[in-house]
Structure 1
């Protein structure tokens, strides 16, 4: 602190951008006032102009100069507000007869008689912008509650991580994509990952045109595994060396007693529409007994269920258990699973090498939406698991399947009618028994821990 040795009035400048005025600015003004004990002081705010903010920060301030000036002039400890350039120099100090310049600990000004104070922890204009985006997304999530399998509610990180990107020559995007794809690959334990525009169905179509070939045993565990049969049967002429057989999931043990072999066993790990979870160990035992590789439609299981590494190839999308925006499909596989010499004559867009070599526009923004989220995918798993547990407890008398046969993504319950006192979107599965409903648990994917499960209060189930 500087004590008064004479009667001189000191002119103290504090330089700000103050694009979003917050308590950190107020505390710095108070610290400046208190620093000069018993002095007469004049507190002058050197406020960056709009043009300087655009030039150095790259965006237009939320409040223009005149409005920022008006707010600061209303503070009792502020005597003057003057327009200043970005860098405060001795020339500026001399021009306004400034005795001392005050700045936060991030000071980069080259001026004499500069005093710095520690920044207020936990607040900055950029942090407030993140909170603002979070508030907007929370508001939108709460105004329409989604009991759907994805996309469901959003994270502010989905929005905050969006930016202008391009697939070639953009080092920033190259870094983003490499990090995201590596984090996704870690969920599977596989060697390779391919990304492309589309979704889980696109991924299946490409995988069954390039990797899942030959003699295929499809396990019918519900609607989405039956979709595999449709996808493959529609292109058998294009894949002359591929054939398939379909058996019911309940017939797996009987099939294991049959002495025959396949190239692939294929199914959906988790059946969203039926709220049914396959026994991954059983599927692996079946594929081993058939000397086959295991393919999983993993859209409803990735980042939710364990042991995807038991499969040799998986397909999934960006907008379910990964928590991203729609628009990206993924194939992951072990090196030994891909035998390009076995492929038929597939169209350019179905050729996996087209996507490996990135020969057309990729799902850039869907990838960006996963940048921060992918650094800790397990938070999604934890939230969805906690949400499902809350639902199972609330409606324990209506649960149809045992918990060991249920996927984390959804629950099948007995109902006569479902209504709501709020704006909700219910899942309408393509197949479900009469007097039942399937409730999905992604609505709490990004909810604060203390509030998880409260969304079910919006349901009136009879």
Structure 2
């Protein structure tokens, strides 16, 4: 078999498939260049890689502490819910993924014994919340509805009701600002970080006040690295993160072009538009067999288009893949 370069292989794979889905993004040279043999103990090379990645992620969000897990953001959110939530919890309902946060809070109420009640408030009714809570839980970017909840407004709500703030940052990390306004966030290695799938992270300002009676679900287990970690996903981020500022430009370029393309079909005002995706009040289709369209779980009409498909082009992206899409009112 003839040898090919990493760049040639990546370009070939990206040419075979055009993604309009919520992540992972298109394949990057850096995803493969970072891969190496790894082990979690006694491997000084990998220890340096992991330290560099975690330090960069903490600096990106402004959190003092971070745990890395092998698994999806869903796992990180479930562990964060069990370990941090206590007392009265208010979940902001913005769609499918926020509703999943509600189920995690209810699970914490049933099993960890620290949560006394779980209430749910629609995202459009935040002004009506008056009673005190211990935690406010929300999804910063709700991909199921192409919706961004401004984090400053969520922080203001939490402060008004005397609560701490926990965010699902899966679809906002690396793309939106001010994650440090939340006391706890959880996210994955793909989507707006542009890494390979397989790692997830919990970042926080202050440690939890109670421990969960479980080996795997106890946050301390992951902080103390008592099991195999997401070594290769973190290794992929080692090469990606130094170039992240350029890579993320591809998302912003595609988002701006998408808003122009669907000017008459936008569903949310600019204030609630996330960088990652756009909810279109039309049926989005494509005649190109390479196109992989997103099938959101949370909307009753229209389509959601995500903007990670040209990540490999970085600031050289032009949003040309959007020409493959057709709108049917």
TM-score band, normalised by shorter chain: over 0.9
The whole-number CA distance in structure 2 between the counterparts of 1:301 and 1:191 is: 19
Matches within 5 A, 1:34-433: 132-242=5-115, 243-255=117-129, 258=130, 260-335=131-206, 338-340=207-209, 342-345=210-213, 347-416=214-283, 418-433=285-300
Contact 2:80–2:186 (CA under 8 A) maintained in structure 1: yes
The number of residues matched between the two structures is 326
The whole-number CA distance in structure 2 between the counterparts of 1:421 and 1:263 is: 50
Q: Secondary structure at the match of 1:168?
A: coil
Q: Secondary structure at the match of 2:237?
A: coil
Contact 1:321–1:380 (CA under 8 A) maintained in structure 2: no
Contact 1:238–1:344 (CA under 8 A) maintained in structure 2: no
Superposition deviation, residue 244 in structure 1? 1.4
Superposition deviation, residue 220 in structure 1? 0.8
Superposition deviation, residue 380 in structure 1? 2.9
1:344-392 per-position Cα deviation (integer Å, ceiling 9, x unaligned): 42x2110111101100000000000101111232223322111111121
Q: Secondary structure at the match of 1:273?
A: helix
Q: Confirm or deny that 1:441 pairs with 2:307.
A: yes
Contact 2:68–2:229 (CA under 8 A) maintained in structure 1: yes
The whole-number CA distance in structure 2 between the counterparts of 1:214 and 1:168 is: 38
The whole-number CA distance in structure 2 between the counterparts of 1:450 and 1:295 is: 35
The whole-number CA distance in structure 1 between the counterparts of 2:237 and 2:151 is: 27
The whole-number CA distance in structure 2 between the counterparts of 1:358 and 1:234 is: 25
Superposition deviation, residue 233 in structure 1? 1.7
Task: State the superposition RMSD in angstroms.
Answer: 1.6
Q: Which moved more, 1:239-248 or 1:182-191?
A: 239-248
The whole-number CA distance in structure 2 between the counterparts of 1:395 and 1:422 is: 22
1:54-109 per-position Cα deviation (integer Å, ceiling 9, x unaligned): xxxxxxxx88xxxxxxxxxxxxxxxxxxxxxxxxxxxxxxxxxxxxxxxxxxxxxx
Contact 2:188–2:201 (CA under 8 A) maintained in structure 1: yes
Superposition deviation, residue 448 in structure 1? 5.0
The whole-number CA distance in structure 2 between the counterparts of 1:448 and 1:203 is: 28
Q: In the alignment, what sits opposite 1:59?
A: none
Superposition deviation, residue 398 in structure 1? 2.0
Q: TM (normalized to structure 2)?
A: 0.95
The whole-number CA distance in structure 2 between the counterparts of 1:451 and 1:286 is: 37
Q: Could you list the runs of 5+ residues in structure 2 that have no partner in the other structure?
A: none
The whole-number CA distance in structure 2 between the counterparts of 1:166 and 1:269 is: 34
Shift in CA distance, 358/400, structure 1 to aligned 2, threshold 3 Å: same
Q: Could you list the runs of 5+ residues in structure 1 that have no partner in the other structure?
A: 1-61, 64-128
Larger radius of gyration: 1
